[in-house]
Structure 1
Amino acid sequence: MMASDVLTLLQISTLIVLGLLFYSFVLLPLFVTAVDTLLDEKNWRPFKKRA
């Protein structure tokens, strides 16, 4: 009974870690770039684009 509980926790933690990695390296850069493009002139940037 104890081994199955540990296996379940390992599976859940693996899914959480993989989900966080997917979010941080795939989804977040895409969403930040998309919002930056949509709010082009209204978005604050620490630098200005050269025309």
Structure 2
Amino acid sequence: MKSPIVKINTMNNVIIIKKVEGVLERNNISYELKGENIVIYRYKNANNF
């Protein structure tokens, strides 16, 4: 089950999605918890999209 995408800003390589269990364990992503169920993922390399 894919996470619902709320917003994508490819210029800054930032993707904002609903938090889903297990997603936070990806090695190439750092994240900040905003509220209870929104996470901002910053991809270290745009090719990882």
TM over 0.5: no
Higher strand share: 2
- If asked which structure has higher relative contact order (CA below 8 Å, sep 6+), I would say 2
Which has the higher Rg, Structure 1 or Structure 2? 1
| TM-score of the superposed pair, with normalisation by structure 2 | 0.21
